[in-house]
Structure 1
Amino acid sequence: MAPKCYRVGLLFSTSGPYSVVAQSMLNGALLALEQVNAEPEAGVRLEPVMGDPGGVNAEYARLAREMLNDGIRHVVGCYTSSSRKEVIPFFEKHDALLWYPSHYEGFEASANVVYTGAAPNQHILPLTRYLIEEYGKHAFCVGSNYIWAWENNRILRETLLANDGEVIAERYLPVGETDFDPLIEKIVDARPSFVFNTLIGTSAYHFFRTFRAACEKRGIEQAREIPVASCSLSEPELEEIGPDAVDGHLSSSVYFSTIDSAANARFIEAYRARFPAGPTMSADAEATFIAVRLLSDALRSAGSDAIDPVREAVGGAAITAPQGRVSIDRDSRHAYLTPRIGRSNGRARFDIILESSRPVRPDPYLIESAPRYTLVARRPNLRIVS
């Protein structure tokens, strides 16, 4: 019996200010799609329909609308929260599904979205706890001026205040901004316990380089004295930062390429063979790979691409992913994921220093974190790795 063929939209900004990560996401999607098409037992064939919004929200809206008007019912894509929120109304109008494969700030659960990236209790809360216990309670927040930075900084601020800490300052810059000299002078003068970074793309890469150079000029060992912590920093971005400033940065994620498992070894081998020119695999690439695999399984189980049966099929679905077991929560359509914290090294990879012993239930609204955000709240039980 011939497999059923379904068109799937792939919506990633492979040009523009965050193109490096977005290209890794598209690579993850294509790898999974090609694996599905090569497996007779998958029972489906996926035909990609690709769009590049170039990092422009209006283009996300236009391309999503075109895909949906053309009869496509499932789109895997978006990296930023602003782009996701830009397109969700079109998915609700057409009763289609967006498979969103990126970590995000939470406080959302659309019936027309399946979330395979980390929710806030799976990245920012474990990181905040680690920072408070290891470095102190005084943060300087630097971010790109959109919802990802605003909301993550709010969660960090409320967590610090609940634990007698403070945010010394918050500064937001346009996506793509690269002039950081005045801001960095303020950070160095303030001497916070740590910098919480929510810059994305080229802005982040320039910040890391400029901050390291400014600290060295003042005789400050930046990685030890004023560490920079992120919830989005990934391996291809470390490569973009460059060798002079690549090491010593903290990142909270559910996937690092250094995870020691058979599933991850297979993923890395297949990814490198298919995309020898890169960019390197990232947490978002893995989340996109997961999204396509879960979509194909749901399509096979549902027997069609109709939204209700696919949505029913994906609820509770599970796969063995490169990061470990991943399953979808029936109530929120977010994923059970395994929180980890890594520290970057000179090879542009992460040494995993903490990880959860098991996948953690997604809590996008932080409802289970009561009393809210405090260190005694329900949280992933991370164990020391090294």
Structure 2
Amino acid sequence: MIREYPVGILFSATGSYGTVARSMRNGARLACKQINADVGLGIRLDPVEKDPGGDLNAYGPAVEKMISDGVKHVVGCYTSSSRKEVIPIFEKRDALLWYPTHYEGFESSANVIYTGAAPNHHMLPLVDYVTRHIGHRVFCIGSNYIWAWESNRVLREELVLRQGSVVGERYLAVGETDVDCIVQSIFEANPDVVFNSLIGESAYSFFRAFRAACKARGIDQAKRYPVASCNLSEPELDRIGPDAIDGHLSSSVYFASINTATNRRFVDSYRAAFPEEKAPSAEAEAAYAAMILLAQSLRDAGTDTLRAVKNCAANQCFSAPQGEITIDPDTFHTSLTPRIGLSRHDGQFDVVFDAGRPVAPDPYLINSTAIREAPPRRTALRIVS
């Protein structure tokens, strides 16, 4: 007997951050196709897609329409602002959001399952790597919303534990591409490394402008002012362009260059399904995994009601392209394998650090230190007057 369930796919495949969100939609679509082709699974998913176009005000009505049409589970959202916009609707309407994006952490909702990386999967390994191999003086740039604000806060606190410092911090509105003032501020602060949490077109413009400004000054940008991100993926390298594509660090749990049979099959299937795309992103892999985990939970529950599916989602496992992942029953985040990549001219990443095992999620950074040995975490006291 095949049970059929409608599922939502909610990504802004158009708009200023459409490159990444489109890859996420692709990952979810690919999973649906494979699930529906697997007769033995006993599940058929009927995708209901909405594209808010990067307009924050469009997310709520899109979710309301999906739920009114019978959808109880939605794989979707890229930005943290869009996630926070729709969570109250999921809580009110007793539906479940499967959120497949690396994010800043410090959140818990009974109506969200988080299949993207938590801050102990990306922020802590990056801080550890940067302070060990590059330097302790960091300049932060970001898009002006919660992802960048919180990422920079965590970065600052972790740097302090390693005797480092933030020497500058600048923000741009989402989609803003005038980055000249930021570039000049970086030269004036003269940091060891630039931490980037810009998204979409803002990020692509910055990478191009910063590389060009360094070249005009006779500076090897990748060596003198390396840029490190927790949100840089293969499709975005393509958007940056060939003149500024290489030498950038990205802290993630997935890269398309991971050399395993499971990942090679995933990449081949992705490229066959979406020939216009050169490689899947980490977010595409997370959306793919979210849809698979949802299908497995629906199969085990025999219904799409929230309580039954969440009960079956707890401890759900999947041999994903990145490796083994498991849903933690306490936080409903996933155990993932931290990695750091260095971008190449061909639009791929060389993996320069691999934790070698899945790491339990710690969204509130209660138990975590960096993935490798690091100085003991101390409480950072701040005296104000």
- Which of the five TM-score ranges fits, normalised by the shorter chain? over 0.9
Q: CA deviation at 1:57?
A: 1.2
Q: 1:70: which partner in 2?
A: 69
Q: What SS class does the counterpart of residue 284 from structure 2 fall into?
A: helix
- TM-score, reference length from structure 1: 0.96
Asked if the contact 1:163–1:374 (Cα under 8 Å) also holds between the matched residues in 2, the reply is no
Q: What SS class does the counterpart of residue 242 from structure 2 fall into?
A: coil
Q: 2:41: which partner in 1?
A: 42
Q: 1:91: which partner in 2?
A: 90
Asked if the contact 2:162–2:375 (Cα under 8 Å) also holds between the matched residues in 1, the reply is no
Asked if the contact 2:124–2:369 (Cα under 8 Å) also holds between the matched residues in 1, the reply is no
Asked if the contact 1:8–1:74 (Cα under 8 Å) also holds between the matched residues in 2, the reply is yes
Q: 1:265: which partner in 2?
A: 264
Q: 1:346: which partner in 2?
A: 345
Provide, for residues 108-152 of structure 1, a one-character-per-residue CA deviation record: whole Å limited to 9, x for no partner: 111100100000000000000100111111110000000000000
Structure 1 segment 120-131 matched on structure 2, within 5 A: 120-131=119-130
Q: CA deviation at 1:13?
A: 0.2
Asked if the contact 1:24–1:279 (Cα under 8 Å) also holds between the matched residues in 2, the reply is no
Distance 1:329 1:377, change over 3 A: farther
Asked if the contact 1:162–1:374 (Cα under 8 Å) also holds between the matched residues in 2, the reply is no
Write the distance in 2 (CA, Å) between the matches of 1:326 and 1:87: 26
Residue type of the alignment partner of 2:95:
A
Residue type of the alignment partner of 1:108:
E
Provide, for residues 71-126 of structure 1, a one-character-per-residue CA deviation record: whole Å limited to 9, x for no partner: 21000000000000000000000111000000000001111001000000000000
Write the distance in 1 (CA, Å) between the matches of 2:127 and 2:134: 10
Q: 1:382: which partner in 2?
A: none
Q: CA deviation at 1:165?
A: 1.3
Q: 1:149: which partner in 2?
A: 148
Residue type of the alignment partner of 2:338:
P
Structure 1 segment 325-364 matched on structure 2, within 5 A: 325-364=324-363
Asked if the contact 1:20–1:279 (Cα under 8 Å) also holds between the matched residues in 2, the reply is no
Structure 1 residue ranges without an equivalent (≥5):
379-386
Asked if the contact 2:230–2:252 (Cα under 8 Å) also holds between the matched residues in 1, the reply is yes
Q: What SS class does the counterpart of residue 248 from structure 1 fall into?
A: coil
Asked if the contact 2:341–2:351 (Cα under 8 Å) also holds between the matched residues in 1, the reply is yes
Write the distance in 1 (CA, Å) between the matches of 2:198 and 2:332: 27
Q: What SS class does the counterpart of residue 367 from structure 1 fall into?
A: coil
Structure 1 segment 86-125 matched on structure 2, within 5 A: 86-125=85-124
Q: What SS class does the counterpart of residue 172 from structure 1 fall into?
A: strand
Q: CA deviation at 1:66?
A: 1.2
- 1:280 matched to 2:279: yes
Residue type of the alignment partner of 2:33:
E
Q: What SS class does the counterpart of residue 10 from structure 1 fall into?
A: strand
Asked if the contact 1:238–1:348 (Cα under 8 Å) also holds between the matched residues in 2, the reply is yes
Q: What SS class does the counterpart of residue 362 from structure 1 fall into?
A: coil
Write the distance in 1 (CA, Å) between the matches of 2:199 and 2:340: 19
Distance 1:28 1:204, change over 3 A: same
Q: CA deviation at 1:70?
A: 2.1
Q: 1:231: which partner in 2?
A: 230
Q: What SS class does the counterpart of residue 243 from structure 2 fall into?
A: coil
Residue type of the alignment partner of 2:37:
A
Distance 1:322 1:370, change over 3 A: closer
Q: CA deviation at 1:277?
A: 1.1
Q: 2:320: which partner in 1?
A: 321
Write the distance in 2 (CA, Å) between the matches of 1:162 and 1:29: 39
- TM-score, reference length from structure 2: 0.96
Provide, for residues 18-37 of structure 1, a one-character-per-residue CA deviation record: whole Å limited to 9, x for no partner: 00111100000000000000
Write the distance in 2 (CA, Å) between the matches of 1:298 and 1:198: 33
- 1:366 matched to 2:365: yes
Q: CA deviation at 1:370?
A: 6.5
Q: CA deviation at 1:279?
A: 5.7
Residue type of the alignment partner of 2:16:
P
Identity %: 57
Asked if the contact 1:23–1:279 (Cα under 8 Å) also holds between the matched residues in 2, the reply is no
Asked if the contact 2:267–2:279 (Cα under 8 Å) also holds between the matched residues in 1, the reply is no
Residue type of the alignment partner of 1:231:
C
- 1:204 matched to 2:235: no
Q: What SS class does the counterpart of residue 140 from structure 2 fall into?
A: strand
Residue type of the alignment partner of 2:56:
N
Q: 1:7: which partner in 2?
A: 6
Residue type of the alignment partner of 2:182:
L
Write the distance in 2 (CA, Å) between the matches of 1:12 and 1:115: 16
Write the distance in 2 (CA, Å) between the matches of 1:302 and 1:265: 31
Write the distance in 1 (CA, Å) between the matches of 2:134 and 2:42: 51
Q: CA deviation at 1:181?
A: 1.0
* Regions of 4+ moved over 3 Å: none
Residue type of the alignment partner of 2:181:
P
Q: What SS class does the counterpart of residue 223 from structure 1 fall into?
A: helix
Q: CA deviation at 1:288?
A: 0.2
Q: What SS class does the counterpart of residue 176 from structure 1 fall into?
A: coil
Structure 2 residue ranges without an equivalent (≥5):
378-385
